């Protein structure tokens, strides 16, 4: 659904043809349609679904306010962003427009750079919202599919293991979904806070203020240093003192905002801005924009986390009815299983990985995933949820060698001699079928490989899998 900016459609509504020609010329890199009155605008908006509407307020018969109200009342057009282009500069007019659902105001006579910039910004915001909605729909659909298939998954040994982990996986997905939801609400809140200030901000944005504002945003967006509350208080005191020494009023509030924006040192370049009457408006605008970016960063991280879980689920649940070996990444298959077990692993368990295979190996992915599932599950059970699992991969004598070593309670020689027997289990009644390691051994044999076990009571256990390489 993603389209480039120049493929986006803009509807320009003005009863003066000269104004339409000017705006059309400024926005010539977009697809445009025009309307000379409100009724025509409503018709075009409903039929063509533009991505953005530039709407004049003062028009005969139906003014811009009424057009906007009708657009927002219609389910087919209510989500189209509306920017008012108007000579009405009263605060009451702006408040009314925002209450009706407009996203911005541009004052006449228009400033070409402001028009181009505002249109671009709001189109990018619309694209971001569309992409976020698509990702949310996909994530929710995936989560629902996971819940709906839970009862079916437990019919096989591998699916049974997944069935036991569904609650943890659901939590793993719900956590970033919650972050996406709360961040999306935060963005909406910040947008509502900043929009009424945009007109005033545009009026005070002289060239020198604009240059310092850009420098301030570069600092804020590039902020990587994490500081403690104690350090933050010290920075605020130091910057407050500096501002006071240089005759800056309201130094406490300004120092607080500067520190929040990541200006901890080299404050001197901002002294000219701090001495201006409009400095607080500039700092608050920067604060709002930084909050929006922070929320967007949280959404990005959350989406990446869920995407990783979904990718692992797809790999883990993949079933090859023909059982054909394919060139695959052995280490990626291990990581897939570790991701599925993440909700259990992170509770007191350390995973140490030493991966040294840099080539594809031929194996049946869904069967080998079953091997890693059983070995990891057994290690977690043996350690009773606390300890270290070391996983190593190496190439030795035309074999891929994969070992899993845990710091669990270990096994006696008597138990070790029976560990691969069908229906033998050391787990309490009802917790294990005794088929896990029997299935593992058969899968490895099906791959012309072998599995070995070493164990010492009170020290731990190592399972080593040997898979032959095929040239």
Over residues 429-455, the pLDDT tens digits come to 545 555 578 778 888 888 899 999 999
Over residues 268-281, the pLDDT tens digits come to 888 888 888 878 88
* Vertex 82 angle, CA 80 and 83, to 5°: 150
DSSP states along 333-386: HHHHHHHHTHHHHTTTEEEEEEE---S-EEE-HHHHHHHHHHHHHHHHHHTTT-
Over residues 357-394, the pLDDT tens digits come to 999 999 888 788 888 888 988 888 889 878 999 999 99
The C-alpha atoms of residue 421 and residue 417 are separated, in whole angstroms, by: 9
Phi and psi angles of residue 43, each rounded to the nearest 5 degrees, phi first: -65, -50
Write down how long the chain is: 471
391, 402 contact by CB (below 8 A):
yes
Report the predicted TM-score, pTM, of the whole model to 2 decimal places. 0.40
Q: Spell out a b/e string for 228-255, using b for 16 or more CB atoms within 10 Å of the CB, else e.
A: eeeeeeebbeebbebbeeeebeebeebb
Model confidence at 4: pLDDT above 80: no
Over residues 44-79, the pLDDT tens digits come to 999 999 999 999 988 988 999 999 999 999 999 998
Q: Please give the helix or strand (H or E) that residue 104 lies within, else none.
A: strand 104-107
Q: Average pLDDT for residues 293-308, to the nearest whole number?
A: 69
Pairing mode of beta strands 52-56, 9-13: parallel
3-state SS assignment for residue 86: strand
The C-alpha atoms of residue 339 and residue 353 are separated, in whole angstroms, by: 13
The C-alpha atoms of residue 192 and residue 373 are separated, in whole angstroms, by: 49
The C-alpha atoms of residue 97 and residue 99 are separated, in whole angstroms, by: 5
The C-alpha R_g of the chain, in whole angstroms, comes to 31
- With bands split at pLDDT 50, 70 and 90, how would you rate the model's confidence at 151? very low
Over residues 123-134, the pLDDT tens digits come to 888 888 888 888
The C-alpha atoms of residue 189 and residue 288 are separated, in whole angstroms, by: 10
Over residues 405-426, the pLDDT tens digits come to 999 999 888 888 888 876 666 6
- Arithmetic mean of pLDDT over the chain: 80
Q: Average pLDDT for residues 265-292, to the nearest whole number?
A: 81
At 374 the pLDDT is 83
Over residues 102-113, the pLDDT tens digits come to 888 888 888 889
Which of left, alpha, beta for 265 (phi over 0: left; psi -120 to 50: alpha)?
beta
The C-alpha atoms of residue 103 and residue 198 are separated, in whole angstroms, by: 10
Model confidence at 336: pLDDT above 90: no
Q: Average pLDDT for residues 255-284, to the nearest whole number?
A: 83
Model confidence at 154: pLDDT above 50: no
At 130 the pLDDT is 84
At 422 the pLDDT is 65
């Amino acid at each position: 659904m993603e389209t480039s900016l120049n493929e986006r459609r803009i509807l320009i509504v003005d009863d003066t043809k000269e104004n339409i020609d000017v705006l059309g010329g400024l926005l010539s890199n977009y697809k445009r349609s025009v309307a000379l009155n409100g009724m025509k605008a409503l018709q075009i908006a409903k039929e063509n679904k533009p991505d953005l509407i530039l709407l004049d307020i003062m028009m005969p018969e139906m003014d811009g306010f009424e057009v906007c109200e009708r657009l927002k009342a219609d389910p087919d057009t209510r989500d189209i962003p509306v920017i008012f282009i108007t000579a009405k500069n009263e605060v009451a007019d702006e408040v009314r427009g925002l209450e009706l659902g407009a996203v911005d105001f541009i004052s006449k006579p228009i400033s070409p750079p402001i028009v181009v910039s505002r249109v671009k910004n709001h189109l990018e915001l619309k694209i971001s919202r569309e992409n976020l909605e698509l990702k949310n729909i996909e994530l929710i659909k995936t989560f629902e599919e996971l819940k709906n298939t839970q009862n079916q998954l437990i019919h096989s040994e591998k699916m049974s293991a997944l069935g036991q982990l569904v609650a943890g996986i659901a939590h793993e997905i719900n956590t970033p979904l919650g972050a996406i939801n709360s961040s999306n609400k935060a963005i909406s809140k910040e947008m509502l806070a900043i929009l009424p200030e945009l007109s005033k901000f545009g009026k005070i944005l002289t060239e020198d203020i604009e240059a310092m504002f850009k420098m301030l945003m570069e600092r804020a967006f590039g902020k990587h240093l994490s500081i403690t509350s104690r350090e933050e208080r010290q920075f605020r005191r130091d910057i407050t003192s500096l501002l006071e020494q240089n005759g800056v009023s309201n130094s406490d509030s300004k120092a607080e905002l500067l520190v929040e924006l990541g200006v901890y040192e080299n404050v001197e370049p901002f002294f000219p801005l701090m001495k201006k009457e409009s400095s607080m408006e500039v700092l608050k605008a920067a604060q709002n924009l930084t909050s929006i970016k922070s929320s967007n960063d949280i959404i990005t991280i959350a989406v990446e986390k869920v995407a990783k879980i979904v990718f692992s689920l797809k790999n883990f649940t993949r079933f090859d009815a023909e059982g054909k070996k394919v060139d695959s990444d052995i280490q990626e298959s291990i990581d897939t299983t570790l991701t599925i077990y993440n909700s259990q692993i992170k509770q007191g368990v350390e995973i140490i990985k030493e991966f040294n295979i840099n080539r594809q190996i031929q194996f049946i992915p869904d069967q080998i995933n079953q091997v890693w599932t059983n070995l990891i599950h057994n290690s977690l059970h043996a350690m009773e949820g606390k300890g270290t699992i070391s996983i190593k991969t190496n190439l030795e004598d035309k074999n891929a060698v994969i070992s899993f070593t845990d710091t669990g309670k270990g096994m006696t020689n008597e138990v070790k001699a029976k560990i691969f027997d069908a229906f033998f289990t050391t787990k309490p009644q009802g917790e294990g079928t005794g088929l896990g390691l029997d299935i593992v051994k058969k899968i490895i044999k099906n791959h012309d490989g072998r599995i070995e076990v070493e164990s010492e009571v009170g020290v731990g256990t190592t399972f080593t899998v040997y898979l032959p390489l095929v040239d």
